[in-house]
Every structure is written in structure tokens, then in C-alpha cells.
């Protein structure tokens, strides 16, 4: 599955759909990657805000319902998932990748749950994965919107493997 909204930093919008490969016996592994220098910078807040301002609040509610259902689908997927996290992995981008069997990070990877910086709270299942970080580091990340690089993601178990980004340029 390829995120392909590079001009919008691969933000998730209502139109982005996932294909179900779970029941296809030919598919043994699903790879999540992006067509850009970022993996995914979260949800498309601009579109949601615009629709709410135009009086279409139900659109925003429907968008979040769809995003959270996608997060749940990927968290409970029956086949192995491999996420190539080259570049920014922020908010909703974390939600669609954090439960992958393999989370490959690079020297370009930047992880963040910055919702608190705009007056919201980390969603997309953050209370589940942040609470499992050692000590109080998950609380720190959730309350400050702190950014982590690929090496830090490996140390805290948010990434599973490190691969230099130049390897993906060959693929």
C-alpha cells in the first residue's frame, strides 16, 4: 500500500482508502510505504477544519470514524505488515504504522505525536503504545509533542529495524 499525496505530505484524508489483502491467499506480506520524502504527517486537519467552518461537522466526525477504523484494522491485521518509515511519521501516520510487525526506520525518520501543540491530545491509539514505553517516557512524548529520530525509535521499541535510506532509492 502506497501513500501517494506527496504535495500534502501524505496526510490522510477522507478519500484515501485501504485495500483488504487479508483474505487474498497470494499475499503473504503487506508493505506500507510512501511516495514522498515523508511517510505521513497525520490527518489532513486543514480539510477537516474547512468543512466544520462551512457547517459540515458530520464530515469531520465521519473522517475520524474512518481513520480510527483503519487504525484498528491495521492493528488487528492477520498478515504481517512492514512499514517503511523514511521521513516524518506524525500523528495519524503513527496510527497506521505503529502496529506493523516490522517498522523500518532510517536516518531521516522523525516520529511525533504533536496533537498537544494544537490543543488536542494524542489519539490513534496513542494511550496504548505510549503507555508501554519504559519509565514515564510515553507520558513525556504525549504531553510535550517531543520528536524522536530513527535511532531513538529503535531504543524505545517504536522501530524494529534500521536501514539506511539510500537502500530504498534502489527499490
Cell numbers representing residue 34 in the block: 510512501
Residue 48 falls within a domain, yes or no?
Answer: yes
Catalytic residue among 115, 142, 150, 159: 115
Domain-embedded: residue 12: no
DSSP letters along 126-151, please?
A: HHHHHTTSSTTHHHHHHHH--EEEHH
Query: Looking at 43, 91, 138, 150, which residue is catalytic?
Result: 43
Asked if 55 is an active-site residue, the reply is no
pLDDT at position 60 is 73
Q: What was the pLDDT predicted at 157? A: 95
Range of the structural domain that residue 114 is part of: 28-168
pLDDT at 74: 85
Local structure of residue 88 (DSSP, 8 states): E
For residue 82, being part of any structural domain is answered with yes
- Residue 91 belongs to some domain of the structure: yes
Write the CATH number for 152: 3.90.226.10
* Residue 142 is among the residues annotated as catalytic for this protein: no
Question: pLDDT tens, position by position, for the chain (171 residues)?
Answer: 777 777 777 666 655 555 567 778 898 998 888 887 888 787 766 666 777 788 877 877 777 788 888 888 888 988 999 999 999 999 888 998 999 999 999 999 999 998 888 877 788 889 999 999 999 999 999 999 999 999 999 999 999 999 999 998 766
43 is catalytic: yes
Q: Is residue 118 part of a domain?
A: yes
Question: What is the Cα–Cα distance from 126 to 118, expressed in whole angstroms?
Answer: 16
Which residue's C-alpha cell is 530504498? 168
- Alpha helices, DSSP H only, in 19-88? 45-53, 57-75
pLDDT given at position 15: 55
Among the listed residues 42, 48, 87, 92, the single catalytic one is 92
Inside any domain, residue 162: yes
Tally of domains within the chain: 1
**55 Ramachandran zone, left/alpha/beta (phi>0; psi -120 to 50):** left
Q: Is residue 21 part of a domain?
A: no
Residue 1 belongs to a domain: no
Amino acid at each position: 500500500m502506497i501513500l501517494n499525496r506527496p504535495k500534502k505530505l501524505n496526510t490522510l484524508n477522507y478519500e484515501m482508502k485501504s485495500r483488504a489483502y487479508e483474505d487474498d491467499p497470494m499475499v503473504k506480506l503487506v508493505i506500507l510505504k510512501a511516495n514522498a520524502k515523508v511517510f505521513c504527517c497525520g490527518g489532513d486537519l486543514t480539510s477537516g477544519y474547512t468543512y466544520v467552518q462551512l457547517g459540515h461537522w458530520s464530515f469531520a466526525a465521519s473522517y475520524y470514524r474512518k481513520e480510527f477504523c483503519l487504525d484498528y484494522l491495521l492493528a488487528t491485521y492477520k498478515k504481517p505488515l512492514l512499514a517503511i518509515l523514511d521521513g516524518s511519521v506524525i500523528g495519524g501516520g503513527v496510527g497506521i504504522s505503529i502496529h506493523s510487525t516490522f517498522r523500518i526506520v532510517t536516518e531521516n525518520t522523525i516520529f511525533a505525536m504533536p496533537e498537544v501543540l494544537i490543543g488536542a491530545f494524542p489519539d490513534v491509539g496513542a494511550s496504548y503504545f505510549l503507555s508501554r514505553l519504559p519509565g514515564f517516557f510515553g507520558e513525556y512524548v504525549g504531553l510535550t509533542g517531543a520528536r524522536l529520530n530513527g535511532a531513538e525509535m529503535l531504543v524505545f521499541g517504536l522501530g524494529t529495524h534500521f536501514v539506511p535510506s539510500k537502500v530504498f532509492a534502489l527499490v
